[in-house]
Amino acid sequence: MRDPAPALVLASAFAAILVAGIFADRRPPDPADVAFRRGLGRLRALREGRRIPPAGIGDLEYRAALDALLASAPPGALDRAVLDRSDDAVLRADLLDAASPDARERALADRDQPLALRLAALARVRSLDAVVRVWRSEPRFPARHLLVLAMGECGRPEAVPVLRGALSDADPAVRGHAALALGALAAEPGAVEGLRAALRDPDPAVRGNALRAMARAPSAADLLREAAADPALKPLAEALLEEIRR
């Protein structure tokens, strides 16, 4: 008959390891995380109980609680909260200003996020690559005109070819905003050529935006005088010339 002692020793050792693992996972909660979750819960309760506008504008109690939460959040907590699809989108949008650039870009790129959060993230994303990825991968993005506007605000010359392509979009709102966005990059090669093409757009609002964008170019006066030769463009071109002379 075999001695059962070795088997008992192995079983005891295994049980000890298992128990140690269980208790190791039961570490005391981080006080900073507990405080953050409590603060987030308070904001959630305030928002559920009142009609609070984004960022708590006009609600001093909510705004003070939001500022305190943003100032004391432990590392990574804001990013996790922003990307948590199960929570209120407007509340999460209020956290975006203090979230990391990576979290903002991920919120923008995530098609399963509510549109309200994605648009709030778009307003805060400064990565041209992140915006262009959404532009190219989501032809049915509900606010494509805001994507082209954001490209101009990124301030990178690489946006010019993309924006010139957007001047051929079927949506006049996209074309008009692309013209305005080129105005922010009017000193970059190719931007003025794109605006000249937009002056022939069938939509008068697009043509007007192209003229306004030209007024931001280094050679604005010459460009506007050239545009004023077209009777349809002359009134606005001359008004813009008068503005830049002041």
pLDDT tens by residue, 82-132:
999 999 999 999 999 999 999 999 999 999 999 999 999 999 999 999 999
Handedness of CA 51, 54, 60, 66 (dihedral sign): positive
Name residues whose C-beta falls within 8 Å of residue 21's C-beta, 6 or more positions apart in sequence. Answer: none
pLDDT at 20 over 90: no
Closest CA to 183 of 208, 209, 161, 207: 209
Q: Indicate the Cα dihedral angle 42, 125, 106, 160, nearest 10°.
A: 160
> In this predicted model, which residue has the larger pLDDT, 245 or 118?
118
Look at residue 8 and tell me whether its pLDDT is greater than 80: no
Neighbours of 166 (CB within 10 A): 24
**Does residue 14 register a pLDDT over 80?**
no
Reading the block at residue 234, the tokens are 């002359």
pLDDT tens readout for residues 191-224: 999 999 999 999 999 999 999 999 999 999 999 9
Please give the Cα distance from 236 to 184 (Å, whole number): 19
- In the chain, the domains with their CATH numbers are 33-118 (no CATH), 126-246 (1.25.10.10)
Q: Say which residues have a Cβ less than 8 Å from residue 61's Cβ, sequence separation at least 6.
A: 46
CB atoms within 10 A of CB 24: 8
